[in-house]
């Protein structure tokens, strides 16, 4: 079923508090006319003008409020309640036509309680997309590690495979040898090691991501390219996007999961295409780039490959590969090493995508590749330190295309050399998973790489979980056990211990700056309180966000953070209370903004009622 939620006119009264640099609204109830009628019992109906969601009006308490753990909150047989308050606190869950229940002192506007869902797909006999949970995030570029059982014992959920076009189709021919296969009138040479690798890991039930890049000489002969060496010529753009799309289609067909060769479910189209270093379009090395031509050239490649892949595997994810230069301050198409920002590139591609459901394959390396340092203040880069900024921006920029809120981290690593060391690498790797799992919408994290590459290590970039000689670094022992071992989910760490929830922590530093985040905020902050939010969507839940306010951050259900910077989504809150849940508020005391589960913020001002969250696991 395709869920379509149209924009609903609402009447919202708001009082604006000016806190730091942000305007933060206190929002009362929203209402709309028209009764929502559900004729098929699926929870969705029609109010005479548009689609609507069926939700029951909050019910009145029928029994006494019983507090079993002494935290001041209890259960009255229907919903959470405040002991001794004489009233229950209920998230208003009625459809727009319903009036706010009299006992609901706080409510969340209806339009914020709507989570747009991806469109249903007609599989047409192909396989459905693998079911992913937070535990399925942990993937790796194996570097053909010889001991596959080690990776299986580490509960590895997926792998990344580099599929270099020039190796599969070194020449353009339709007269195939006995060792080649023919597809769409062209001959391809199957790369046996990769072929076996895809088949093996698919048989283990692991999700395989294919990175498709490397333009062969015959496909770029007439294209002006500013490659500085023979080894970089494969990053030149192809003359004809249809040639690249044929290669992508051949991979999608061979590895569709039904032909006995295994399955690739995720397809990355070229590599770090916002950097001229890795995607060359008649410019660079002193030749200025044309931004529009650059984006248009890649868009032609992406659209052609997307259409061919989707015609074979409708459920496949087709992804745009981008490096970590996020904000528009990076736009420098005329420099010696031309770069376009993620914002500029995605906006340009989206305008040319004609409704295609693109997704991002992002590389959130630290600002310095030879460093383990990352921070929530890493802008204009988006790194592991502030990875939520990307997810928050995608939801703001493309509110009606939820498919494009999905992010895959397809090349990521932390160095143990240069400005770093092996101990710092271990901590940073763990924190990178904490921040990833603390950001709903990130579906995959492929660690790069299994072992150090000697040519990178001499420059201080030693990303491997193991050293070049194969011996294990401290980071390996953290990585291999963080999600449990041997299919067992015990002794979890680095964010996996909170699944299926995210952990929201309220903390404060010595200057009195409060932060409320599901991501790492640094050692200078001390924990004040914590709560748990759903990482994945469930009916009746809606997203909450971390928003900036000066040197602090606060929680809101407004995706736009009232114009403040969004640090990204933090998890889903419930519109109805239940056992082991508490009502969460954003509160204000003078210039301080903080999160609290004290009903009505006690003696302080209520900035916003967020919803119901779990107090403990």
Q: Which domain covers residue 565, as residue numbers?
A: 497-614
Q: Is residue 47 part of a domain?
A: no
**In angstroms, rounded to a whole number, what is the distance separating the alpha carbons of residues 356 and 398?**
13
Residue 472 in contact with residue 466, Cβ under 8 Å?
yes
**In angstroms, rounded to a whole number, what is the distance separating the alpha carbons of residues 591 and 597?**
19
Residue 594 in contact with residue 554, Cβ under 8 Å?
yes
**In angstroms, rounded to a whole number, what is the distance separating the alpha carbons of residues 376 and 363?**
16
Instruction: Give yes or no: residues 366 and 476 share one domain.
Output: yes
The CATH code of the domain that includes 397 is 3.20.20.80
Strands 266-269 and 73-75: unpaired
Q: Of 496, 529, 551, which residue is a domain's last? A: 496
- 307: exposed, middle or buried (Cβ count in 10 Å: 0-12, 13-18, 19+): middle
Residue 583 in contact with residue 597, Cβ under 8 Å?
yes
Helix axis angle, 291-312 relative to 241-254, nearest 10°?
Answer: 30
**In angstroms, rounded to a whole number, what is the distance separating the alpha carbons of residues 376 and 429?**
15
**In angstroms, rounded to a whole number, what is the distance separating the alpha carbons of residues 130 and 128?**
6
Give the DSSP letter of residue 238: P
Domain count along the chain: 2
Radius of gyration of the chain from its Cα atoms, rounded to whole angstroms: 26
Distances (CA, A) of 398 to 176, 346, 350, 375, 395: 45, 10, 9, 26, 6
Nearest residue to 456 via CA among 414, 422, 427, 424: 414
Instruction: Give yes or no: residues 554 and 446 share one domain.
Output: no
**In angstroms, rounded to a whole number, what is the distance separating the alpha carbons of residues 135 and 142?**
18
Which regions of the chain are under pLDDT 50? Answer: 1-33, 40-44, 53-63, 65, 67-75, 77-103
C-alpha 337: how far from chain center: 28
Question: Coil, strand or helix: which one is 25?
Answer: strand
Q: Is residue 212 part of a domain?
A: yes
Strand ranges in 34-133 using DSSP code E only, listed in sequence order? 44-46, 51-53, 73-75, 80-82
Instruction: Give yes or no: residues 532 and 561 share one domain.
Output: yes
Q: Phi-psi region for residue 286, left (φ > 0), alpha (ψ -120 to 50) or beta? A: left
Instruction: Give yes or no: residues 442 and 561 share one domain.
Output: no
Which pLDDT belongs to residue 550? 87
Instruction: Give yes or no: residues 486 and 592 share one domain.
Output: no
The answer, yes or no, to whether the previous bond of 413 is cis (omega within 30 of 0) is no
Instruction: Give yes or no: residues 393 and 511 share one domain.
Output: no
**In angstroms, rounded to a whole number, what is the distance separating the alpha carbons of residues 181 and 177?**
8
Strand ranges in 106-177 using DSSP code E only, listed in sequence order? 138-140, 158-164
Which pLDDT belongs to residue 46? 52
**In angstroms, rounded to a whole number, what is the distance separating the alpha carbons of residues 24 and 609?**
12
Distances (CA, A) of 615 to 493, 502, 579, 583: 19, 12, 10, 9
Q: Of 455, 476, 496, which residue is a domain's last? A: 496
Distances (CA, A) of 266 to 106, 263, 356, 407: 43, 9, 15, 12
Residue 355 in contact with residue 402, Cβ under 8 Å?
no
Nearest residue to 609 via CA among 565, 557, 574: 557
Instruction: Give yes or no: residues 415 and 520 share one domain.
Output: no
Neighbours of 290 (CB within 10 A): 15
Which pLDDT belongs to residue 13? 32
**In angstroms, rounded to a whole number, what is the distance separating the alpha carbons of residues 413 and 398?**
28
**In angstroms, rounded to a whole number, what is the distance separating the alpha carbons of residues 608 and 23?**
12
Q: Of 450, 470, 496, which residue is a domain's last? A: 496
**In angstroms, rounded to a whole number, what is the distance separating the alpha carbons of residues 450 and 432?**
16
Helix axis angle, 342-352 relative to 291-312, nearest 10°?
Answer: 60
What does the buried/exposed string (b/e) look like for 131-161 if buried means 16 or more CB atoms within 10 Å of the residue's CB? Answer: ebebbbbbbbbbeebeebeebbbbbbbbbbb
Q: Which long-range contacts (CB under 8 A, 24 or more apart) does 576-579 make?
A: 576/58, 576/79, 576/90, 576/91, 576/93, 576/540, 576/612, 577/79, 577/80, 577/81, 577/88, 577/89, 577/90, 577/91, 577/612, 578/75, 578/79, 578/80, 578/612, 579/75, 579/80
Q: Is residue 64 part of a domain?
A: no
Strands 581-589 and 552-556: unpaired
Instruction: Give yes or no: residues 383 and 524 share one domain.
Output: no
- The residue length of the chain stands at 617
Question: Coil, strand or helix: which one is 293?
Answer: helix
Which pLDDT belongs to residue 418? 96
Instruction: Give yes or no: residues 434 and 576 share one domain.
Output: no
Q: What is the pLDDT of residues 17-68, one digit of tens each?
A: 333 334 444 433 333 345 555 554 444 455 555 555 444 323 333 345 454 4
Q: Is residue 433 part of a domain?
A: yes
Instruction: Give yes or no: residues 306 and 226 share one domain.
Output: yes
DSSP conformation letters of 557-611: S-TTGGGSPEEEEEEEEESS--TTEEEEEEEEETTEEEEE-SGGGTTSEEEEEEE
**What pTM did the predictor assign?**
0.83
Which pLDDT belongs to residue 37? 55
Strands 501-508 and 158-164: unpaired
Q: Is residue 100 part of a domain?
A: no
Helices assigned H by DSSP within 85-224? 148-153, 165-168, 192-203, 217-220
Residue 393 in contact with residue 566, Cβ under 8 Å?
yes
Q: Is residue 76 part of a domain?
A: no
Instruction: Give yes or no: residues 420 and 357 share one domain.
Output: yes
Instruction: Give yes or no: residues 538 and 474 share one domain.
Output: no
Q: Is residue 605 part of a domain?
A: yes
Nearest residue to 71 via CA among 59, 81, 60, 63: 81
Q: Is residue 17 part of a domain?
A: no
């Amino acid at each position: 079923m395709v869920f379509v939620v149209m924009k609903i006119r609402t009447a919202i009264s708001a009082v604006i508090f000016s806190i730091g640099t942000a305007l933060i609204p206190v929002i009362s109830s929203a209402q709309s006319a028209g009764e929502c009628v559900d004729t098929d019992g699926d929870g969705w109906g029609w109010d005479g003008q548009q689609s609507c969601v069926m939700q029951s009006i909050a019910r009145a308490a029928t029994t006494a409020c019983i507090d079993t753990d002494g935290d001041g909150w209890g259960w009255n047989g229907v919903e959470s309640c405040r002991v001794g308050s004489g009233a229950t606190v209920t998230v208003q869950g009625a459809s727009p036509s319903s009036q706010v229940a009299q006992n609901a002192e706080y409510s969340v506007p209806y339009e914020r309680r709507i989570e747009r869902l991806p469109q249903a797909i007609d599989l047409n006999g192909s396989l459905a997309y693998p079911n992913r949970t937070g535990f399925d995030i942990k993937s790796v570029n194996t570097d053909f590690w010889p001991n596959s059982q080690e990776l299986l014992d580490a509960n590895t959920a997926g792998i990344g495979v580099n599929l270099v076009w020039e190796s599969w189709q070194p020449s353009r021919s339709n007269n195939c040898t006995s060792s080649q296969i023919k597809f769409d009138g062209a001959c391809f040479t199957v790369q046996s090691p990769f072929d076996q690798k895809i088949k093996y890991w698919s048989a283990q039930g692991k999700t395989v991501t294919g990175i498709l890049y490397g333009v062969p000489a015959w496909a770029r002969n007439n294209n002006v390219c500013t490659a500085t060496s023979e080894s970089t010529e494969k990053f030149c753009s192809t003359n004809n996007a249809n040639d690249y799309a044929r290669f992508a289609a051949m991979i999608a067909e061979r590895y569709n999961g039904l032909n006995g060769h295994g399955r690739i479910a995720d397809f990355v189209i070229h590599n770090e295409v916002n950097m001229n270093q890795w995607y060359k379009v008649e410019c660079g090395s002193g030749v200025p780039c044309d931004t529009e031509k650059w984006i248009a050239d890649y868009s032609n490649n992406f659209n052609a490959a997307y259409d061919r892949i989707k015609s074979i595997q409708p459920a496949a994810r087709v992804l745009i590969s981008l490096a970590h230069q996020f904000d528009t301050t990076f736009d420098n198409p005329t420099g010696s090493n031309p770069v376009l920002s993620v914002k500029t590139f995605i906006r340009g591609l989206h305008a040319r995508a004609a409704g295609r459901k693109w997704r991002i394959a992002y590389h959130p390396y630290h600002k310095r590749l030879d460093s383990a340092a990352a921070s929530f203040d890493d802008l204009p880069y988006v790194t592991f330190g502030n990875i939520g900024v990307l997810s928050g921006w995608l939801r703001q920029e493309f509110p009606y295309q939820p498919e494009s809120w999905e992010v895959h981290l397809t090349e990521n690593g932390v160095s143990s050399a240069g400005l770093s060391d092996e101990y710092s690498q271990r901590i940073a790797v763990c924190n990178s998973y904490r921040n990833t799992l603390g950001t709903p919408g990130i579906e995959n994290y492929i660690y790069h790489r299994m072992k150090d590459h000697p040519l990178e290590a001499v420059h201080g970039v030693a990303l491997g979980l193991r050293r070049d000689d194969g011996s294990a670094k401290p980071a390996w022992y953290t990585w291999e056990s963080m999600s449990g071992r041997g299919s067992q989910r015990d002794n979890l760490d680095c964010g996996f211990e909170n699944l299926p929830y995210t952990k929201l922590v309220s903390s404060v530093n010595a200057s009195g700056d409060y932060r409320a985040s599901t991501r790492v905020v640094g050692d200078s902050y001390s924990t004040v309180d914590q709560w748990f939010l759903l990482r994945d969507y469930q009916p009746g839940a809606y997203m909450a966000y971390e928003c900036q306010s000066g040197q602090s951050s606060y929680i809101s259900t407004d995706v736009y953070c009232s114009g403040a910077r969004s640090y990204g989504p933090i998890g889903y809150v419930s519109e109805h209370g239940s056992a082991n849940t508490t009502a969460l508020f954003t509160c204000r005391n003078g210039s301080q903004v903080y999160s609290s589960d004290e009903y009505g913020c006690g003696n302080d001002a209520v900035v916003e009622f967020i919803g119901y969250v779990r107090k403990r696991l």
